[in-house]
Structure 1
Amino acid sequence: MNLRSIDLNLLVVLDALLDEAHVSRAAERLGLSQPAASSALERCRHLFRDPLLKRGRGSMSLTPKAQALRAPVKRLLADVVAVVDPPKIALADLRQRVRIVTSDLPAAIIAAPLHRVLAETAPGLEVVIEPWTGASAALEALETGSADLALSVFPEPDEMFRRETLLHETYVVMMRRDHPAAKNFDLDNWLAYPHVLVSGRGQTRGALDEALAAHGRSRRVAIVVPSFLIVPSLLEGSELIVMLPSRCVPKDSATRFAVFEPPIPVEGFPLHLAWHARRDGDVGVQHVAGIIRASLSAKL
């Protein structure tokens, strides 16, 4: 293919068309007329030998080829911008939205420091913390550009992603301070009472169940909740017991709860910060990433 025959502006229009799945909205976003956007769509269809957008009942949808093009087109345009016009804007002048995908525990740690530091250094940066729906969904969001940073546990990513280990978390067992199992806490007492399991996706088994199975034991999960923030109120006034990350223990736990190390080894987990490689040079995203690093290191 002769690259000189390809109009780079066509890819800019294609990016908007794939995001909006609507010709008029894409035209409005780019400041084009609707006929100009329609003409660009036809040229894209010819270039990629695919309809790209198909009309359905009252709306348009992306073809499989169009879905596959979303991430590569965004990556290509970001690379072009980084080469042709590297960012020179000062932090205080940034006007940008940064989307972070994470679960409730990291969000509770980073939210206040993010707001405080950004108010002082980059008041034009808007942070949106979005709910966690799994590592695969988070990486897909980073790839498509619907998220900028993700904070959780990730497998070793491929070369298009960056993954940085911020800390290593361990588990503790917590129950109300006067719980019967607290007097002589051991494995049998631990398993004699009902447990709370925290799962943002409604899973009924966790790391503890795998560790118990290796010892030929099991527990009874009485309730599954989506957030660690719900746990303290559940434990008070009940015989429920929970195993949770050590950083989820309330600051006033000494007066309210009994906290122990698990009576069998339960492997902890790393907390990773991840982003797409095309965000390496994004000043706003990397500034937010730096605040997150500092926030979590202060909690070590």
Structure 2
Amino acid sequence: MNLRSIDLNLLVILDALLDEAHVSRAAERLGLTQPAVSAALQRCRGLFADELLERGRGTMRRTERAEALRAPLKTLLAGITRLVDPPPTPLADLCQTLRIVMADYPAVQLMPPLMEHLGRTAPGIDLVLQPWQGADAARAGLVAGTSDLALSVFPPAEDELQRRELLNERYVVAMRPDHPAARDFSLEAWLAHPHVLVSGRGDTRGPLDAVLAGHGLRRRIGVVVPTFQMVPDLLARSDLIAMLPSRCVPAAAGLATFAPPVPVPGFPMHVAWHRRRDGDAGLRYVARLLADILSKDDPDCLPQGSSLFDL
């Protein structure tokens, strides 16, 4: 293929089309007319010998070839941008929107100080907090380019993600102070009452259930909720019990907490982005702010005198 025959602007339009799976939305995003984007789609279909977007019932869906193109296309465009990138824009002059995936914990703790910092130092950076649907979905969003940053547990993997550890979290068992199990807390008392499970996907089993199964034990899940914020009030008004990350138990809730009666490993919290975004000053600044905010909450998570990010 003769590379001189390829219009790079066509690839920019294709990137928007594959993100939106909708001609009108892609046109609005790019500031182009709908006929121009439709014509570009037809040219892309010829270039890749594939329909790319197929019509369904009132919508369009990406073909298998289109799905396979999404991540490589974003990586290619990011590389071209870095190649011809102008001098860095001062933080105060940046204007961009970043999409961040995280659960309501730690969002409740992070978002107020994060917005306060951005308001003073980079007021043109806008944030979109995307709904939490699990670590696998967060990873997929970073690879596909539908998310820019994600806070979760990201084990090492060969998927071109950059990840940095923010803190290490431990679990506690929480219940109301006058709960029957609180009088003489034990494994038997813990398992004798229904539990709360937090799952953005509506799962009815979590990591604790695998730990219990390894001991030949099981628990009853009394209720599954999508957010951690719902849990304290549920515990205060019922005999429900929850095992939560320690930072999810607000002191003001007045709940009784105990160490889990079986060993349950804690977990690291990471912030992650795709390597193609390494040159994005706004993204890396927000990632650094998130790390700084959490390091103040957990001063042991960073060595003294060092920074989690070298920007």
TM-score with structure 2 setting the length: 0.87
**Equivalent residues in 2 for 1:66-215, closer than 5 Å:** 66-86=66-86, 88-215=88-215
Task: Output the CA distance in 2 between the equivalents of 1:172 and 1:33.
Answer: 55
1:128 Cα deviation (Å)?
Answer: 1.1
Q: Is the 8 A contact 2:53 2:61 kept in 1?
A: yes
Task: Output the CA distance in 1 between the equivalents of 2:136 and 2:216.
Answer: 31
Task: Output the CA distance in 2 between the equivalents of 1:198 and 1:59.
Answer: 33
Does 2:301 match 1:291? no
Partner of 1:44: 44
Partner of 1:226: 226
1:175 Cα deviation (Å)?
Answer: 1.4
Partner of 1:258: 256
Q: Is the 8 A contact 1:157 1:163 kept in 2?
A: no
1:260 Cα deviation (Å)?
Answer: 1.1
Partner of 1:273: 271
1:24 Cα deviation (Å)?
Answer: 5.4
Counterpart amino acid of 1:113? Answer: P
Q: Is the 8 A contact 1:87 1:282 kept in 2?
A: no
Q: Is the 8 A contact 1:207 1:266 kept in 2?
A: no
TM-score with structure 1 setting the length: 0.90
1:100 Cα deviation (Å)?
Answer: 0.4
1:34 Cα deviation (Å)?
Answer: 5.3
Task: Output the CA distance in 2 between the equivalents of 1:112 and 1:181.
Answer: 36
Task: Output the CA distance in 2 between the equivalents of 1:147 and 1:18.
Answer: 14
Task: Output the CA distance in 2 between the equivalents of 1:243 and 1:108.
Answer: 19
Unaligned runs of 5+ in 1: none
1:16 Cα deviation (Å)?
Answer: 3.0
CA deviation profile, 1:83-122 (whole Å, cap 9, x unmatched): 1114511111111111101111111121111111001111
Counterpart amino acid of 2:216? Answer: G
Unaligned runs of 5+ in 2: 299-311
Counterpart amino acid of 1:262? Answer: P
Q: Is the 8 A contact 2:143 2:159 kept in 1?
A: no
Q: Is the 8 A contact 1:235 1:241 kept in 2?
A: yes
* CA gap 1:107/1:33 in 2 versus in 1, 3 angstroms: closer
* CA gap 1:78/1:240 in 2 versus in 1, 3 angstroms: same
**Equivalent residues in 2 for 1:11-22, closer than 5 Å:** 11-22=11-22
SS in structure 2 of the partner of residue 193 of structure 1: coil
CA deviation profile, 1:130-176 (whole Å, cap 9, x unmatched): 11112222122112222100111123232421122211111111111
Task: Output the CA distance in 1 between the equivalents of 2:22 and 2:219.
Answer: 52
Task: Output the CA distance in 1 between the equivalents of 2:194 and 2:33.
Answer: 63
1:271 Cα deviation (Å)?
Answer: 1.1
Query: What is the total number of aligned residue pairs between the two structures?
Result: 298
SS in structure 1 of the partner of residue 297 of structure 2: coil
SS in structure 2 of the partner of residue 252 of structure 1: helix
Q: Is the 8 A contact 2:105 2:228 kept in 1?
A: yes
1:17 Cα deviation (Å)?
Answer: 3.1
Q: Is the 8 A contact 2:175 2:257 kept in 1?
A: yes
Task: Output the CA distance in 2 between the equivalents of 1:211 and 1:58.
Answer: 45
SS in structure 1 of the partner of residue 165 of structure 2: strand
1:27 Cα deviation (Å)?
Answer: 4.7
Task: Output the CA distance in 1 between the equivalents of 2:83 and 2:291.
Answer: 27
1:223 Cα deviation (Å)?
Answer: 1.9
Q: Is the 8 A contact 1:204 1:224 kept in 2?
A: yes
Task: Output the CA distance in 2 between the equivalents of 1:88 and 1:105.
Answer: 33
The more displaced of 75-84 and 31-40 is 31-40
1:33 Cα deviation (Å)?
Answer: 5.3
1:38 Cα deviation (Å)?
Answer: 4.4
Task: Output the CA distance in 2 between the equivalents of 1:26 and 1:231.
Answer: 40
Q: Is the 8 A contact 2:199 2:224 kept in 1?
A: yes
Task: Output the CA distance in 2 between the equivalents of 1:58 and 1:184.
Answer: 59
Partner of 1:245: 245
Q: Is the 8 A contact 1:171 1:261 kept in 2?
A: yes
The more displaced of 289-298 and 150-159 is 150-159
